[in-house]
Amino acid sequence: MSADKEIKFSDDAYALVQKIIKRYPEGKQKSALIPVLHIAQAEFSGWLSAPVMDYVASLLSIASIEVYEVASFYTMFNLKPVGKCVIEVCRTGPCWLMGAEDLVKYLEKKLNIKDGETTADGMFTLKTAECLASCGTAPMMQIGETYHESLTLNKVDQILDDCRATVTEPISHWSKKEI
């Protein structure tokens, strides 16, 4: 995100934030922080910069530090820029039993990046994740909101091709629906 671009939610996102705040009692608007950070991440290129977090703090009338400490605790929040498609591969025991380690190695080779890195064209970021409650359909990975399950290498190839062909804007966990 360029520094000069004004940091402001779209009207839809702003309206949703106001709606979410109303779910919590008067004066407990801080409770909306995590949902609002998901929205912020989706609104601002898939990651949370310090100015974006400051903006969220102002929306919720809390101190910036309260936002930073939360954003840095939860693994779904990216504190540095990421690719358009963030691929999260589950690597915990049950998925490992079904070949998750090979899946990660395959993706590293194919995308020519390591865990945590982004491809030079800014298309993919590879992240390893811990159990995503999909152990019965292992190995699996998540891209945005979508769970890709019972993976084979062919399926992975197909998914990557689909991403390249269709994704133009960064996709986030929050797909701009009601939340």
Partner 1 sequence: MGRKLLTENINVPGIQSLSVYRHQGGYETLKKAVGMTSEAIVEEVKKSGLRGRGGAGFPTGLKWSFLAKPEGVPRHLVCNADESEPGTFKDRYMMERIPHLLIEGMIIGSFALGANSSYIYIRGEMMYVLHILQRAIDEAYEAGFLGKNILGSGFDFDLYVHCGAGAYICGEETALIESLEGKRGNPRIKPPFPAIKGLWERPTVVNNVESIMAVVPIIKMGGDEYAKIGIGKSTGTKLISACGHINKPGVYEIEMGIPVEEFIYSDEYCGGIRNGKELKAVVAGGSSVPVLPKSLILNLANGEPRLMSYESLSEGGFATGTMLGSGGFILMDEDTSIVKNLWTFTRFYHHESCGQCSPCREGTGWMEKLLHKILDGHGTLSDVDLLWEIQSKIEGKTICPLGDAAAWPVASAIRHFRHEFEEYVTNPQNIKKDHHYYRVNNISPEFA
Residues that bind ligand FES (CB under 6 A): 90, 92-95, 131-135, 138, 140
Partner in contact with 30, chosen from partner 1, ligand FES, none, beta carbon below 5 to 8 Å by kind: partner 1
Q: Which stretch binds partner 1 (CB under 8 A): 5-13, 118-126, 160-168, 169-177?
A: 169-177
The shares of helix, strand and coil residues in the chain, as percent rounded to the nearest 5, are 45, 10, 45
Q: Among candidates 139, 136, 45, which has minimal Cα distance to 88? A: 139
Contact call for residues 111 and 124 (beta carbons, < 8 A):
yes
- Chain residues 39-58 in contact with partner 1, contact rule CB under 8 A: none
Contact call for residues 127 and 80 (beta carbons, < 8 A):
no
Partner in contact with 140, chosen from partner 1, ligand FES, none, beta carbon below 5 to 8 Å by kind: ligand FES
Among 7, 14, 51, 101, binds partner 1 (CB under 8 A): 101
Q: How many CB atoms lie within 10 A of CB 179?
A: 16
Contact call for residues 81 and 45 (beta carbons, < 8 A):
yes
List residues binding partner 1 (CB under 8 A): 23, 25, 28, 30-35, 37-38, 60, 62, 66, 69-70, 73-77, 88, 91-94, 96-99, 101-103, 105-106, 109, 129-139, 142, 145-147, 151-153, 173-175, 177-179
